[in-house]
A and B are shown apart, each in its own frame.
Chain A
């Protein structure tokens, strides 16, 4: 990565080093001055514990990518402007510079290994399975909807098909601020929910953008993962894996309730009764209990 590419004169090398320091400083300074408030680079900060770990890795990787990208782009731009044809003089026909070539093998290898180390630590955190989660939910994807099976034989099914409102959502219950398309997965906030995911037909993608997380729902494969949603709220979610005609409409939601309210909702469902008023106004967690 040394910008001293093909330089032999030491003054030019010094000049280059100063330029490189300037470039790195220009990129790094706003980050350092910004302190803890990391720029998000359009990513979500992660509403789950696992998603926040991913966010930190994402930001670090983006910063590294920007540094590398700016240096390489600067070298290209410099070459293009500095070495455009100015005379009929024949350039020196040099071809190899072994120390330089070895340098730009070793530096990327080191960078890759560092990135891999952070990746390895983060992926183990994201994929960690708690021994005793607060609640276990079995999620089954199908064309085109989701079925959530909670403890105590509570099953909620919602479909998104050509029928605009197949589960009697009645639009009116939706707060206009939130898009409420499709049924919701209800979990306790601040506690770990263990999701067991599979599919009854084709492959679907369980994706919650604000959780920075997706996982395939596949026939014949059972995936287990933990979500620890930090704060109560409604999180938009959508199927990401092409699953046929109505893939585009296979929306759902994750609704995180304070634990006590979650328990109350769950026990109210256990008899198969219809859902009482939910604490969150937009109760798109359309309950169609079918025990």
Chain B
């Protein structure tokens, strides 16, 4: 690509580029990665809040035995849509469509994504797919009610008649294409639009993880889309791919779905690991410990994730247990590497607990618990005892909540000053964090116990005489506390919008290139770039006396110790306007 050679002169064209449509027309026609990224973030957050409200309805239903708050049909539809919205329309798109779209080109020093128009198409497909899926609520019979996995034959036209399942399938297909296009864009941007000096081993971990995620998207999403096309064909064109009646196989659907579904779990996790790996070093005043080990850990997780899908199918009785068990257990190793690298980064640092850092600490504990129970579930006999119970529900919520919510909102708070050039209110961010944390543990710890006692997932009611009530009440209270914590986020966004506190270009004294751009970045991002000689170009630029020591053993290097120099970039380096 010749784009690299052209890149430094982009600022000469700055004024031409600025003249374009504004307002609604700009929003509809823009191919700017920042605007598309923002659209993605806003849309996916709307999906997150919708799915969260559904979760509160579900928890309200379960707060008493034999509850009739919702009908069975409503309950089944709501948990289906809660899962579908959270997984297909929030956790993934928020990361790879929203944050990555906005941040990745900035982190590699590029003026935009490689294919800006394809990027716009991605967003409109995603928005269209999301609306299509939600339309299911409006058709006769209500939304699809077969769980977010849509197992055949329950999702066949015989057992799930009506048009809502078709809308659901179409929604998945549209958002699937959107994800594939975004994946293409992210891979190409990372490989071809890096600024001079930005070698692969100088990429920020967030970008590295997004690259690996994008490759996983290209592996996994076509399978999902294909599986959905086949499901649609079974429903409407008289094929029998997933039905035994015509010689098909329902297990085939599970294999196809989880061949997407397990990489998908890491598509939903790796970007968020990337956020944590960017945030913790910044607030520890240190480089990421074991940077290269982190990259190889990410790649091993991705590689292993394509060979573990059948651990979701241990109880089908038709999979080779030892193979899938061993590979699943092995994922604990690279994940453990990440944990120790994060701890090593904090080790002997100077930690400041801003809201993004608090959310990362919350992530560490959530993911630790979710990860350990995940190791247990990778053991087939333990899975036999807990499969499809609330133990599994608690496990994957701790994992996904740890990633998409804790780390996701760590990213939102962390980059908020970059997006808007203004600071959020720190005290409200901390309230958000502590309420969220109380709610989180109160919601999901009881669910582990309920699962071990034998409460199946996806039940709309339970008998009164099993002693499940009090733990369910605790879980429901926790869910409401989580809900309340998000009021602090919304108020925070509103207040900081109405009464702006300027943030400056680099309020965190951060490490990576996006903090060299203005806040918000100008059209085509950079007027100039610092020299890129490590994975922390902005840090190196501001702290020439505190360069990275490659090996911890080299004690003699005098550069390590020194006093924090005033970074001098932007308005408020190291002293943002509103630190509590």
Chain A interfacial positions (CB closer than 8 Å to B): 5-6, 8, 41-44, 51, 53-54, 57-58, 61-62, 65, 68-69, 72-73, 75-76, 79-80, 83-98, 100-101, 104-105, 108-109, 112, 115-116, 119-120, 122-123, 126-127, 143, 179, 181, 201-203, 205, 207, 209-210, 212-216, 218-221, 223, 225, 236, 238-249, 251
Known: A95-B288, A242-B76. A215 touches B317 (CB 8 A): yes
The answer, yes or no, to whether B577 is at the interface (CB within 8 Å) is: no
- CB-CB nearest in chain B for A99: B553
Q: Which residues of A contact B146 (CB under 8 A)?
A: 242
**Cross-chain contact B563 with A93 (CB below 8 angstroms):** no
A94 to B329, CA, bound (A): 31
Chain A: minimal CB distance from B423 (Å): 19
The answer, yes or no, to whether B555 is at the interface (CB within 8 Å) is: yes
A249 to B288, CA, bound (A): 52
Interface code B420-436, partner A: CB below 8 Å = 1, 0 otherwise?
00000000000000000
Contact partner, A8, options B321, B339, B353, B552, Cβ 8 Å:
B552
**Cross-chain contact B348 with A92 (CB below 8 angstroms):** yes
A201 to B153, CA, bound (A): 8
Q: Which residues of B contact A203 (CB under 8 A)?
A: 151, 153-154, 250
**Cross-chain contact B460 with A93 (CB below 8 angstroms):** no
A79 to B212, CA, bound (A): 29
A104 to B389, CA, bound (A): 33
Q: Which 10 A-B pairs have the closest CB atoms?
A: A209-B454, A240-B388, A92-B560, A212-B385, A220-B244, A79-B346, A223-B317, A248-B459, A94-B552, A240-B456
- CB-CB nearest in chain A for B350: A85
**Cross-chain contact A54 with B454 (CB below 8 angstroms):** no
Q: Which residues of B contact A236 (CB under 8 A)?
A: 454, 466
**Cross-chain contact A214 with B548 (CB below 8 angstroms):** no
The answer, yes or no, to whether B59 is at the interface (CB within 8 Å) is: no
Q: Which residues of A contact B459 (CB under 8 A)?
A: 247-248
**Cross-chain contact A89 with B388 (CB below 8 angstroms):** no
Known: A5-B340, A205-B315. A72 touches B250 (CB 8 A): no
The answer, yes or no, to whether B56 is at the interface (CB within 8 Å) is: no
Among A43, A93, A97, the one with the most B-chain Cβ atoms within 10 Å of its Cβ is A93
Chain B: minimal CB distance from A163 (Å): 14
**Cross-chain contact B388 with A207 (CB below 8 angstroms):** yes
Chain A: minimal CB distance from B410 (Å): 15
**Cross-chain contact B453 with A209 (CB below 8 angstroms):** yes
**Cross-chain contact B346 with A83 (CB below 8 angstroms):** yes
**Cross-chain contact A90 with B563 (CB below 8 angstroms):** yes
Interface code B347-366, partner A: CB below 8 Å = 1, 0 otherwise?
11111110000000100110
**Cross-chain contact B369 with A69 (CB below 8 angstroms):** yes
Known: A6-B552, A179-B463, A241-B388. A112 touches B333 (CB 8 A): yes
**Cross-chain contact A105 with B159 (CB below 8 angstroms):** no
**Cross-chain contact A93 with B546 (CB below 8 angstroms):** yes
The answer, yes or no, to whether B289 is at the interface (CB within 8 Å) is: yes
Q: Which residues of A contact B380 (CB under 8 A)?
A: 119, 123, 126
Q: Which residues of B contact A247 (CB under 8 A)?
A: 72, 76, 458-459
Contact partner, B347, options A6, A51, A249, Cβ 8 Å:
A6
Chain A: minimal CB distance from B538 (Å): 14
**Cross-chain contact B316 with A216 (CB below 8 angstroms):** yes
User: Other than the known A44-B454, A96-B293, A242-B154, what 8 A-B pairs have Cβ atoms closer than 8 Å?
Assistant: A54-B384, A57-B379, A65-B376, A76-B365, A79-B349, A179-B465, A207-B454, A248-B459
Chain A: minimal CB distance from B160 (Å): 8
Known: A57-B382, A112-B329, A202-B153. A92 touches B343 (CB 8 A): no
**Cross-chain contact B461 with A248 (CB below 8 angstroms):** yes
**Cross-chain contact A95 with B290 (CB below 8 angstroms):** yes
Interface residues on B, range: 35 or more
**Cross-chain contact A221 with B316 (CB below 8 angstroms):** yes
Q: Which residues of A contact B330 (CB under 8 A)?
A: 109, 112
Contact partner, A73, options B368, B376, B546, Cβ 8 Å:
B368
A90 to B546, CA, bound (A): 8
Q: Name the segment of B93-101, B279-287, B492-500 touching the other chain.
A: B279-287
A215 to B284, CA, bound (A): 48
Contact partner, B368, options A72, A220, A242, A244, Cβ 8 Å:
A72
Q: Which residues of A contact B159 (CB under 8 A)?
A: 143, 201-202, 244
Q: Which residues of A contact B124 (CB under 8 A)?
A: none
Interface code B154-192, partner A: CB below 8 Å = 1, 0 otherwise?
100001000000000000000000000000000000000
**Cross-chain contact B72 with A248 (CB below 8 angstroms):** yes
Contact partner, A105, options B73, B76, B337, Cβ 8 Å:
B337
Chain B: minimal CB distance from A150 (Å): 22
Interface residues of B in 502-559 (CB under 8 A from A): 543, 546-553, 555, 559
The answer, yes or no, to whether B115 is at the interface (CB within 8 Å) is: no
| Subset of 24 A-B contacts with CB under 8 Å | A6-B289, A8-B553, A42-B452, A42-B453, A44-B452, A65-B372, A91-B349, A97-B289, A98-B551, A112-B375, A115-B375, A119-B325, A126-B384, A201-B159, A202-B159, A214-B315, A214-B384, A215-B317, A216-B316, A219-B250, A220-B250, A241-B388, A245-B73, A246-B72
**Cross-chain contact A61 with B454 (CB below 8 angstroms):** no
Q: Which residues of A contact B548 (CB under 8 A)?
A: 93, 95
